[in-house]
Amino acid sequence: MTKFEELGLSQPLLDAVKDMGFETPSEVQEKAIPLLLESEIDLVALAQTGTGKTAAFGFPLIQKLDSASRTTQGLILSPTRELCLQITNEIQAYSKYVKGLNTVAIYGGASITDQARQIKRGAQIVVATPGRMKDMISRGLVDITKIDYCILDEADEMLNMGFFEDIKDILSNTPKDKSTWLFSATMPREVATIAKKFMNNPTEITVGAKNAGTSTVQHEYYVVGGRDRYPALKRLADANPDIFSVVFCRTKRDTQRVAEKLIEDGYSAGALHGDLSQNQRDLVMNSFRKKQIQMLVATDVAARGIDVDDITHVINYQLPDEIETYTHRSGRTGRAGKSGISMVIITRSEMRKINAMEKKIQQAFLSKKIPTGIEICEIQLYHLANKIKDTKINKDVENYLPAINDVLEGIDRDELIKKIVSVEFTRFSNYYNKTKDISSSDDRGRDRERGDRDRGENAPSNGSVRYFINVGEKDGYDWMSLKDFLRDTLSLGKDDVYKVDTKDSFSFFNTEAEHTEQILSFFTDFKLEGRFINVEVSKNPGGSGGGNRGRSGGGRGRSDRDSSDRGGRSRSRDNNRSSSRGKSSHSGKRRSGSSSSKSRSDFF
């Protein structure tokens, strides 16, 4: 394995690497750093976010600059304010031992005068969003005519956001003999055009497969009637109690509407779109990062640059117009080596888009059914039981125990458990008993090869058996590793275990009925690290709730409102407070102050 010391980095940078706690270079760093240090080349690097690409261009840039000169020598263009700030922070951390090096961020939504003042003090590196950059050039507040290096970060996103003309204008203010390094997750035609037009015979490096979505993401689609989109969304959330997701809508209006409905229905949700002021957007993003918001409903533009690593699900409430945009959406999950799920809620008339998207991501979509009410109730019941089991006892409860014992006197243990569980469970069963199931059939009629998890959907349901197992994400499993564990432990074939849905401390999976006897007898006395593993046949053969990668910790808030008219999820009292807070600040109902009249460069 290559070490940082072997890449040709100077001591101040190696010291910073040590401080950052980086042990070995990532693939893109290993490939790009020596190349960029050795020669003056143009580079096209295909790498997703989360691969360490900022350091891949940041280290060589810092090392090559003359920190004794105050001239601006390096320009980094990035699509959003969030990303711009993130890159600036990273570069500042990498260059902390390089004396005299200044990196300044310029972006919309903040004081242009302050930013101009910082530039004037001397900034060898400028990190900018295209809108604000253009603005500052036209006002003569920044000079990029002497730069040696120009980095276009997340080029595909910048072009998707319509920054082609801005980038062209910005580049026309830079010297011809500079080096240009372009980083992009995908290589659509527009990016290739930029490379051809503005770069000189660029060297190309690729991390992972070209144009492919990350393989850690499972893609699922759910066919519903046009009017059932919202109930379908609620069911997907209810079937995944630990969901931490971005829900994509096509328009700002739909984004606002869906977020408001979710909040009204008691979910911890927030809206993120361009009609909110920068301040409102910052508030929502902060709450999302702190996981006070479980479902962030966003437009594509507003969600660009969201850098939150442990998103469990991306939900496409509506499909985007451009297929390319789907790649960006799904890339918000499955980051940093974790698995994630991208769900598409789709009507029959849109089905042909699935084929086109599969081609684009080079991965098969799984056809899934919106969970039935019974399935959701079952998931919620196990979730609740586990939550009770894992709840740390609050010492203050002791004071009230004598009185509580008086109240509960005469109720035996079994009855008490039933009553406790019923407190939450009844709400779900009441709601779902009243609602009919909403899945439409998938008439895509495909008989081609699909992902191996999909096998269960096509298998006759009477031959398929669903199991409950008392291990889950807390034990370090996600659906992929649990599937491997089951297959290896039971010596089953590649496709014998399917529909593996992991929850926090339990999971579900399916096999054909022919394996049931073997599985149940195997697990009657099977111990894993000293603990008995319990496998039972679950009541439902389906399990279409989608695997949930879940996440560590818990404690996301929920609204405190009574939700007798809905399915909702189990909520703990201590969570309710943060949720109510989230509700008032993120419902977007206080939109009157938002600046819909602002120009795009104000936001980006």
User: Where along the sequence are the contacts to ligand AMP (CB under 6 A)?
Assistant: 22, 25-26, 29, 49-55, 90
**Closest CB to ligand AMP among 52 and 582?**
52
- Cβ–Cβ < 8 Å for 528, 471: yes
If phi over 0 gives left and psi between -120 and 50 gives alpha, with beta otherwise, what is residue 389?
alpha
**Closest CB to ligand AMP among 103 and 538?**
103
- In the complex, minimum distance from the CB of residue 88 to ligand AMP, in angstroms, rounded to a whole number: 12
**Cα–Cα distance between 328 and 217 in angstroms, integer?**
12
- In the complex, minimum distance from the CB of residue 30 to ligand AMP, in angstroms, rounded to a whole number: 9
- In the complex, minimum distance from the CB of residue 349 to ligand AMP, in angstroms, rounded to a whole number: 38
**Cα–Cα distance between 65 and 67 in angstroms, integer?**
6
**Closest CB to ligand AMP among 58 and 108?**
58
**Closest CB to ligand AMP among 57 and 467?**
57
> What separation in angstroms does the CA of 159 have from each of 152, 188, 324?
11, 10, 11
> What separation in angstroms does the CA of 14 have from each of 11, 35, 36, 313, 362?
5, 17, 16, 36, 38
SS3 67: coil
- In the complex, minimum distance from the CB of residue 34 to ligand AMP, in angstroms, rounded to a whole number: 14
- In the complex, minimum distance from the CB of residue 100 to ligand AMP, in angstroms, rounded to a whole number: 23
**Closest CB to ligand AMP among 91 and 123?**
91
**Cα–Cα distance between 295 and 525 in angstroms, integer?**
40
Q: Which residues of 487-506 are buried (b: 16+ CB within 10 A; e: fewer)?
A: beebebeeebbbbbbbbbbb
**Closest CB to ligand AMP among 26 and 585?**
26
The position carrying tokens 């996440």 is: 551
**Cα–Cα distance between 299 and 595 in angstroms, integer?**
16
- In the complex, minimum distance from the CB of residue 97 to ligand AMP, in angstroms, rounded to a whole number: 16
**Closest CB to ligand AMP among 337 and 445?**
337
**Cα–Cα distance between 76 and 550 in angstroms, integer?**
35
- In the complex, minimum distance from the CB of residue 208 to ligand AMP, in angstroms, rounded to a whole number: 12
- In the complex, minimum distance from the CB of residue 548 to ligand AMP, in angstroms, rounded to a whole number: 24
Nearest by Cα to 500 from 460, 547, 544, 467: 547
- Locate all alpha helices (DSSP H) within 227-296, ordered by sequence: 229-238, 252-264, 278-289
- In the complex, minimum distance from the CB of residue 257 to ligand AMP, in angstroms, rounded to a whole number: 32
**Closest CB to ligand AMP among 34 and 50?**
50
Looking at residue 365, its amino acid is F
**Closest CB to ligand AMP among 207 and 343?**
207
Nearest by Cα to 29 from 68, 71, 58, 70: 58
**Closest CB to ligand AMP among 9 and 195?**
9
Nearest by Cα to 246 from 183, 160, 161, 335: 335
**Closest CB to ligand AMP among 22 and 522?**
22
Looking at residue 591, its amino acid is R
- Cβ–Cβ < 8 Å for 572, 435: no
Angle at 65 between CA 64 and CA 66, to 5 degrees: 125
- In the complex, minimum distance from the CB of residue 480 to ligand AMP, in angstroms, rounded to a whole number: 22
Tokens of 31: 């490939």
**Cα–Cα distance between 1 and 328 in angstroms, integer?**
31
- In the complex, minimum distance from the CB of residue 3 to ligand AMP, in angstroms, rounded to a whole number: 11
- In the complex, minimum distance from the CB of residue 43 to ligand AMP, in angstroms, rounded to a whole number: 15
- In the complex, minimum distance from the CB of residue 276 to ligand AMP, in angstroms, rounded to a whole number: 25
**Closest CB to ligand AMP among 25 and 541?**
25
**Closest CB to ligand AMP among 90 and 282?**
90
- In the complex, minimum distance from the CB of residue 29 to ligand AMP, in angstroms, rounded to a whole number: 6
**Closest CB to ligand AMP among 154 and 501?**
154
- Residues 6 or more apart whose CB falls under 8 angstroms from that of 163 comprise 79, 130, 131
Report the Cα–Cα distance between both ends of the chain, in Å, rounded.
40
Looking at residue 171, its amino acid is L
What kind and span of H or E run contains 468?
A: strand 464-469
SS3 501: strand
Tokens of 449: 């090869």
- Residues 6 or more apart whose CB falls under 8 angstroms from that of 443 comprise 348, 351
